[in-house]
Structure 1
Amino acid sequence: MRYLIFAVLLTTTMAATAQRQILDKMVATIGGEITLLSEVEEQYAYTKAQRNGAVPPEARCMLVEQILVNKLLLNQAKLDSIEVKDEEVESQLTARIERILSYMNDDLKQFEEYYGQTVNEVREQFREDLRNNLLIERMRAKIMADVSVTPSEVKDFFRRIPKDSLPYFSSEVEVGEIVYKVPINKEQKRVTMEKLEDIRKRIVEGKEDFAELAKKYSDDGSARGGGDLGWAKRGKYVTEFEAAAYKLEEMEVSPVIETQFGFHVLQMLGRRGNSIHVRHILIRPEITDEDVDLGQRHMDTVRTLLIKDSISFSRAVKKYSDKNVQSFNNDGRMVNPTSGNTFFEVGDLDPDIYFAIDTMKMNGVSKPIEFRDESGDYFFRLVKLMSRTVPHKANLAQDYAKIQKAAIESKRNEIVNKWVEERIQKTFMLIDRQYEGCPNLAPWMKENMAAAKPD
């Protein structure tokens, strides 16, 4: 039997809970963890909505099994005293709420109308759900720790795939990049610092509230929460920010500091061991049209050097590319965030990069491509086509890394499946008989569900 591991995302839980009705029935107990009927029905309704109603007849049975597996993992995580720190919960909770707000164009009114609660109320309600999800992930990782496959196992895995079932891989490319962040001119820096110095003065003289000024002036997502960044451990922030923060006493306001993100004023709200709770006001200097033009001319010059073979691509990466970009430490090669390797299907590339390399010859270098990151900073990149494969049926010679990854996932699933089967026999559980018609739940529906076999 195959057991699916189902991790409920906060956004899924939120969407379902936005329409939650009174909990009316307990349908399962797994160790110390309970499952309510409304939990099953909410997730079923969400799945159905996501698929425009196109769900198979056995969908509810499969969903119940996924929930039960999660409860089994959660119960064992607590028995094993697996730890999830408060700082991690707060950090992920903030990031996910920020993501939802970004989908709503940072419209707090829309958020509150959709969820029927304020942002802070949503945070309070879903904090425990997120903690449990992290415990489930930790437990699953513990079960699958140190799983690896030998070359012979990879070959055996590949040979077991029926020839008529071998996947057909589309064309893939490797792309190198040199990324240049457009610098801010001195005049704009001066104007920004003076503005922030004035804001700081209004705070330290007690004329205005830090949080209100953060809401009004700060240029990042924390503005809506008064600049509050929550609890964080040492190492979370960039060096300049962290150095300033750890010097502060409680409620003290820092001088104006500069980081790669702009200029900040910080206030210490609390300290707990090696963790700090700060808020800040961030103002980003404006990039002028002249700055952008200078950046483009700079990258035109770098491209000319590459085309004339006056410098190697690898050397140009080290000399000209932004050190904060992931590709800098990979000889300029871009890494596919989905696969973790350097190969991209052309359809997965950023549109600007796709069109730049679409008709490019091997080892060609594009003209400077302008783009902005999530923070609004301006960049230019040069991209180089480093390799291109033709569409083909999967084979070990060309696709070993992909086949190896699939073999590892298969082995992990086998380990988790075996663990679940063993824990079912050793864990107290009660499953409501309304699910007796689900064939996949037969192992969970014991004749004597009132007692579990001892270890």
Structure 2
Amino acid sequence: MGLQTNAQKVKIDGVAVVIGKNIVLDSDIAKFKQEVELRSEGKVKISDCEMLDELMQQKLMAHHAVVDSVIVSDAEVSSRVDRSIQFFTQQYGSIEKVIKAYGFNDLDDLKKELTSVQTENVLIEKEQQNITEKVDVTPEEVRVYFNGLKEKGELPQFPAEIELAQIVIKAIPTKEENERIIAKLNSIKKEIEEGSSFKMKAIINSDDPGVTNNGGQYTVTKESSFIKEFKEMAFTLDVGQVSKPFKSDFGYHIMQLHAIKGNTRIASHILMQPEVPDEKLNEIKEKAEKIILEIREGKITFAEAVKKYSNDETTKNNGGLIVNPSTGESKFDLTRMDPAFYARVSDLKKGEMTEPFYDEERSGDKMFKFIIMKNRTDTHIADIIEDYVKIQQLALQKKKEETITKWSKDKIKDTYIKIGAVYNKCTFSKNWKKEVNK
């Protein structure tokens, strides 16, 4: 579903199908088709009929989610709307450009349409979960599934996977440097309260990389994915008030509240990050080199060194194990890694470590770190013992898809469906036309 409102769209394009109380427009088909081709970088071409088949399945789910009284909370939808707005803002550079690109009047208009889109998405996901929640596979079903693929010569090839652990030594700013930053922010606060432009002060002083696009200004709700301290300050200030300097993982901020619109706050901030001198960086690099030497000489294990030396809170308590943000698991597919990261670890054998290297986080934290190859599996054809969990997941996914197909077949019979004349010639994977002999 696109970002134009349904009322606007019905006026300018035709209704392709009606499923229960849901409609699919010609423009929906064109947009989804374009998205599929873009995501596959042009490798997948899909016809209008195939795309409509997929869209009708989604609308069938959405319709019956409402029939089955699936509950969608405001918080679930709001958090998705906020993520969508952040994504579009990153793509276009500013929220004003997003609003203009999609032809909306203002942010409220855009939010209204995104709320409609995301409400439908949550309905579909929850209905799918309801349909498949009791589906499971037995070890025998996994074995039959694997043997079936083997007989047809269709066993998947699993890519090389690796497990990595790290030790992170951060450069901690001095007390004097933190105090210098706080004094500077207090000075800027005083100048703003005496009439200086917050936006200009932000552009000149802020370490927030988005400041050139938005002058430090953000739209904040309680469901926004901003850091806790940022949200709390936005909901504490009065309109026009400039905060005292406050600390977050990103550094030190001051904030001014511009407007209150219901549950939304419009606020600007200036972020300043403490500086770390080169001598300090050289010092922590030497420390990392000494730790590597201790591990190589057998004086301490990697896991013991993590507990003793690492400053990284996310990995310190699990032996330094790095979690793949895309999957939530510790394994990384070598073919889908960041190129710079890939170059650093791809040649490591199991048990080998990198040399210490410099890194800097979005928060401004500067550090040296080194990585050990905990485990690695080379590219291989699926094996029932070595890859049992993966094969089990594939078998379960197939069974869930079959369950949804059977559910759809039953629901199509008693759901109002009207297909536009243009699409009646299509051959569909499901009996959307309700033909008697199918």
TM-score w.r.t. length of structure 2: 0.81
Matched residues, number: 428
Counterpart of 1:366 in 2: which secondary structure?
A: coil
Match of 2:16 among 20, 27, 33: 27
- Report the equivalent of 1:5: none
Q: CA 1:403–1:52 in 2, change beyond 3 Å: closer, same or farther?
A: closer
> CA separation in 2, counterparts of 1:68 and 1:287?
57
- Alignment of 1:343 with 2:334, yes or no, is no
> CA separation in 2, counterparts of 1:217 and 1:119?
29
CA contact (8 A) 1:26 1:36 kept: yes
Counterpart of 1:397 in 2: which secondary structure?
A: coil
Alignment of 1:117-156 (within 5 A): 120=107, 122-123=110-111, 125-145=113-133, 147-156=135-144
- Report the equivalent of 2:282: 293
> CA separation in 1, counterparts of 2:160 and 2:201?
52
> CA separation in 2, counterparts of 1:411 and 1:259?
46
Q: CA 1:366–1:48 in 2, change beyond 3 Å: closer, same or farther?
A: closer
CA contact (8 A) 1:32 1:75 kept: yes
Paired-residue identity, %: 27
- Alignment of 1:172 with 2:196, yes or no, is no
Counterpart of 1:446 in 2: which secondary structure?
A: coil
Q: CA 1:422–1:211 in 2, change beyond 3 Å: closer, same or farther?
A: farther
- Alignment of 1:430 with 2:421, yes or no, is no
- Report the equivalent of 1:63: 51
- Alignment of 1:378 with 2:366, yes or no, is yes
> CA separation in 1, counterparts of 2:203 and 2:418?
50
Deviations 1:287-333, CA, capped at 9 Å, x for gaps: 443443333233223222222222222222233334443x4443222
- Alignment of 1:227 with 2:217, yes or no, is yes
Deviations 1:327-362, CA, capped at 9 Å, x for gaps: 444322223344543333333334444333344343
> Post-superposition shift, 1:216?
6.7
Deviations 1:90-149, CA, capped at 9 Å, x for gaps: 443343343344345x37797677556688365554342233223323332333335443
Q: CA 1:144–1:108 in 2, change beyond 3 Å: closer, same or farther?
A: same
> CA separation in 2, counterparts of 1:418 and 1:316?
54
- Report the equivalent of 1:405: 393
Alignment of 1:436-451 (within 5 A): 436-440=424-428, 443-446=431-434
- Alignment of 1:366 with 2:359, yes or no, is no
Alignment of 1:309-324 (within 5 A): 309-324=298-313
Letter of the 1:143 counterpart: I
Alignment of 1:26-105 (within 5 A): 26-48=15-37, 59-103=47-91
Counterpart of 1:178 in 2: which secondary structure?
A: strand
> Post-superposition shift, 1:434?
2.4
> CA separation in 2, counterparts of 1:157 and 1:425?
30
- Report the equivalent of 1:186: 175
> Post-superposition shift, 1:271?
10
> Post-superposition shift, 1:75?
1.9
> Post-superposition shift, 1:38?
2.1
CA contact (8 A) 1:214 1:281 kept: yes
Counterpart of 2:12 in 1: which secondary structure?
A: coil
> CA separation in 2, counterparts of 1:24 and 1:167?
43
> CA separation in 2, counterparts of 1:112 and 1:332?
43
CA contact (8 A) 2:99 2:110 kept: no
Letter of the 1:265 counterpart: I
CA contact (8 A) 1:346 1:354 kept: yes
CA contact (8 A) 1:98 1:221 kept: no
> CA separation in 1, counterparts of 2:117 and 2:40?
24
Higher alpha-carbon deviation: 44-53 or 144-153:
44-53
Counterpart of 1:174 in 2: which secondary structure?
A: strand
Letter of the 2:382 counterpart: A
> Post-superposition shift, 1:376?
4.6
Match of 1:279 among 242, 259, 267: 267
> Post-superposition shift, 1:427?
2.0
CA contact (8 A) 1:181 1:322 kept: yes
> CA separation in 2, counterparts of 1:231 and 1:211?
21
- Report the equivalent of 1:451: none
Across the aligned residues of Structure 1 and Structure 2, the Cα RMSD in angstroms comes to 3.9
> CA separation in 2, counterparts of 1:391 and 1:439?
39
Letter of the 1:38 counterpart: S
Counterpart of 1:439 in 2: which secondary structure?
A: coil
Q: CA 1:122–1:277 in 2, change beyond 3 Å: closer, same or farther?
A: closer
> CA separation in 2, counterparts of 1:186 and 1:259?
16
> CA separation in 2, counterparts of 1:93 and 1:113?
18
- Report the equivalent of 2:292: 303
> Post-superposition shift, 1:384?
0.5
Alignment of 1:318-337 (within 5 A): 318-325=307-314, 327-337=315-325
CA contact (8 A) 1:182 1:379 kept: yes
> CA separation in 1, counterparts of 2:115 and 2:289?
50
In structure 2, stretches of 5+ residues that fail to align are none
> CA separation in 1, counterparts of 2:74 and 2:142?
40
Counterpart of 2:428 in 1: which secondary structure?
A: helix
> CA separation in 2, counterparts of 1:298 and 1:231?
43
Deviations 1:259-287, CA, capped at 9 Å, x for gaps: 11111234676698xx7857351413144
- Alignment of 1:200 with 2:169, yes or no, is no
> CA separation in 1, counterparts of 2:277 and 2:174?
8
Letter of the 1:304 counterpart: L
TM-score w.r.t. length of structure 1: 0.78
> Post-superposition shift, 1:81?
4.2
CA contact (8 A) 2:219 2:265 kept: yes
Q: CA 1:371–1:81 in 2, change beyond 3 Å: closer, same or farther?
A: farther
Q: CA 1:151–1:252 in 2, change beyond 3 Å: closer, same or farther?
A: farther
Counterpart of 1:420 in 2: which secondary structure?
A: helix
Letter of the 2:144 counterpart: D
CA contact (8 A) 1:26 1:34 kept: yes
> Post-superposition shift, 1:395?
0.8
Q: CA 1:208–1:441 in 2, change beyond 3 Å: closer, same or farther?
A: farther
